Structure 1
Amino acid sequence: MKRVFANMGWLLGGRGFNAVLSLIYLAIAARTLGTEGFGHFALIIALAQAMVGFSSFQTWQFIVRWGADPDAPGVDLARAREATGFAVGLDLISVVGGSLVSVLVVMTAPLWLDVPRELLWLALFFCVVSLATIRTTPTGILRLHSAYGKATGAEAVQPVVRTLGSVLAWWLMPDVTGFILAYAASEILTFLALWVVAARVQPVSLASVSLRTIPARHRDAWRFVWSTNMSGSLAVAGKQVMILLVGTFGGAYLAGGFRIANQLGVALIALAQTISKAILPELVQSRDGAVEIARRMANIAAMAGVTAVVTAILFGRQGIALVAGEQFTGFYWAMIILSIAGAVELVGASLESLLVSAGKAHVAFLVRLFPTILALLMLEMAIDWKGAQGAGFAVLGSSILAVVGFYVAIVNLRQFRLVVEPDEEGADQRPAPPKI
């Protein structure tokens, strides 16, 4: 638990620094571009992040899972190099495949997305840049070696460059193009910073790049790869695709406002991801105490979630006005609903990580699949009913169903039933489920 909290300290410190600067560059963009311009900007960002989410693999999880020493807590360098080579190979596939898909999506965008035709080339450019700068592999190397401080320092490049770039865009190019170029620069420089730091911790050789070594050693490798990829895609569907569909059904203004509400209200989901990233290496390396670690983190998350929701209720309207301007305060209740969804996700983060650490990523995927599909299918009806608030309720319902599903899945997994109840003759009965 000490190591978990140390890892979380670095991650949360980085998140906090990022959160403060994100409010600054978000405020500059929203106030400079106005409601419609910011909506177009938000849709381009969401499109690029959706392409990355659907095309990329959760390679940091592969490195953490297959790079750890199977016999004792720690890192097996030979296995770590194999896992890293496998991850790099998957990243190359993501870049090529994702770029081709991006071309097709952008070509059809005028049929379904409220973005002017003159900005479509910019959307394609940002999609390709975002794909080429996928950085889950160097992040996985640093997490495997518990180099969270170094990772936090490298990742701090992104908010710093975005803030400076947004100031330059406001001064020299106060339009959507200027702000997209600022974001593109931040992606490139953060990618370079992470790889430089990761290579110093664990040198990477191109000779180790292979898509065969890991599958030959681990029979369930490809199932784990596709399960985590699809789980990541579902997370994107619940976030970026949701913004795109809000723009499709409600227009650029609604998409921009939903983006503001999402940025402020769903900051808790980022916190949930932080908890997940901090505890997964420890769950993998400390299997005997995995349930206890997850239980403690879920309890802490519940308290943090309630605190954050109350804060959003009390100060959310003023926060929206301060960051984005009075024209976006109509999205206050959407922000509250999304903050509650974030609190639910915060509690579920530990449960989902527990499933993944046990090699049950496919179970986690299935648990998320149906609530996400249901939310997307109900989205148009929800927007017609209550606008951005309706979209927020769709997200909230999906989060509640997913977290309940995680709990039920864990209780029913035999390998987590750690308490054995003897029968009257002393023989072991079926183990009882853990108290989570």
Structure 2
Amino acid sequence: MHVMILGGGVVGVTSAYYLAQAGHQVTVLERQPGVGLETSFANAGQVSPGYSAPWAGPGIPVKALKWLMMRHRPLVLWPRLEPRLYGWLARMLANCTEDAYRRNKGRMVRLAEYSRDVLRDLRAETGIAYDHRERGTLQLFRTQKQLDHVGDDTRVLDAYGVPYEVLDPAGCIAAEPALARVSGVVVGGLRLPGDETGDAHLFTKALAGLCTELGVTFRYGARIAGLQEAGGRIEAVMLEDGTRLTADSYVAALGSFTPALLRPLGIALPVYPVKGYSLTLPITDADAAPVSTVMDETYKVGITRLGDRIRVGGTAELAGFSDVLRAPRRETLERSVTDLFPQGGDLAHASFWTGLRPMTPDGTPIVGGTRIANLFTNTGHGTLGWTMACGSGRLLADLVSGRTPEIASEDLAVSRYAA
């Protein structure tokens, strides 16, 4: 079977790899000159199944109002005359209940833990290198109030069997020795030893190389104009230059741009772009840099060591498809990393980046078939595209191939929104 993947980010490329492994002829269409150059390019670098949870949950509406008032706020909302935004927000608020949170969390943990296992198998089988580390994630609390509420997190972790450690300041320093250089900043932490780190862009490029060895064709600079449907099937992909491309099956993995492609077909994907930012700093003192990933609970910022660099990622900005780099967002990232690792990296030579995370209102990605027999989706992973990429790609390949996936998948498809 010839399968065409629409999108060459980490999700699209992992889909291509597992489809090629299953024996299919695979073509990847990507508008950029290479793979992984948009949302996958400079994300926070975390592979964090332990932190796979929906943003929508009990208490979030009140917290969100507080975050919007902070100077270094983790959430930014730009008022817009955009019905899709407010419809998406309404659906997200509807998921801020205990029952919805448990349901959505269960879906996400199932896929994320499966993805971690698939990634480990891939690494063992291929030796793929991407500056990865297996040193866990440390969530740092700056206030006693944050530490006192750690039980809210650990109860969820207990329910899903995720290993963790609650640490005092000395325990935090044992996990991240560079924290000994700052005093009075941290009162405690929550460590998840099963999490990993790695550069998603390096991974995507390396995996694309393995895909090529398996016979996958990559067409770069391919700007998609639309899909042609007839008789309940997709017949072709039309490019903006008039080229018409055909395959047997199609996988839409265009991140935040997927809904616009499928809307003319009558398929409504509740995916909205949530803008994130990152800084990448060269390490100046290895002993003063993090050894893995640190999550700054106050600013909702992740600080990750990637080889000889520090990646600082965070902020959720609701600003449509804007790619403007805003100075206040940079200030928040700089504040977090200089508080915790002031001698670790060179801010003067940091690169500043922004990307659009494709978020669903229930936090769960949309992976599976659609009402059109030969059209599948693999999108909506939000901040967890890197965490869930391998599992989503393997799952998608099984569904396209007509095989029974290794995990339950019925509640991951777009059909769940019809209920």
* TM-score, scaled to structure 2: 0.23
* TM-score, scaled to structure 1: 0.23
Structure with the bigger RCO (C-alpha within 8 Å, sep 6+) is 2
The structure that is helix-richer by fraction is 1
The structure that is strand-richer by fraction is 2
